[in-house]
């Protein structure tokens, strides 16, 4: 019986999550410039949650 060893590579991030995280970052950056850090965190979180629900 052969010893099966596979290289341990981390699983790649799906394109869907790449798009969600990139969009959340951009939304957070825009809101940060306009309204400050707390609003930016809210906008980034809401964008990520909304896109996750929309694309699921």
pLDDT digits (tens, 9 = 90+) for 1-32: 555 666 677 778 799 999 999 999 999 999 99
Q: In sequence order, what are the residues at sequence separation of 6 or more whose Cβ sits closer than 8 angstroms to the Cβ of residue 16?
A: 55
Across 24-46, average pLDDT: 98
Asked if residues 49 and 27 have their Cβ atoms less than 8 Å apart, the reply is no
Task: Specify the pTM.
Answer: 0.77
Of residues 52 and 56, the one with the higher pLDDT is 52
Three-state SS at 43: helix
pLDDT at 38: 98
pLDDT at 8: 78
* First-to-last C-alpha distance (Å) of the chain: 42
Integer Cα distance of 2 and 12 in angstroms? 27
pLDDT at 23: 98
């Amino acid at each position: 019986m052969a010893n099966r060893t596979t290289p341990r590579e981390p699983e790649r991030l799906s394109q869907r999550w790449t798009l969600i995280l990139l969009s959340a970052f951009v939304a957070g950056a825009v809101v940060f410039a306009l309204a400050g850090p707390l609003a930016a965190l809210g906008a980034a979180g809401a964008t990520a949650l909304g896109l996750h629900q929309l694309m699921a």
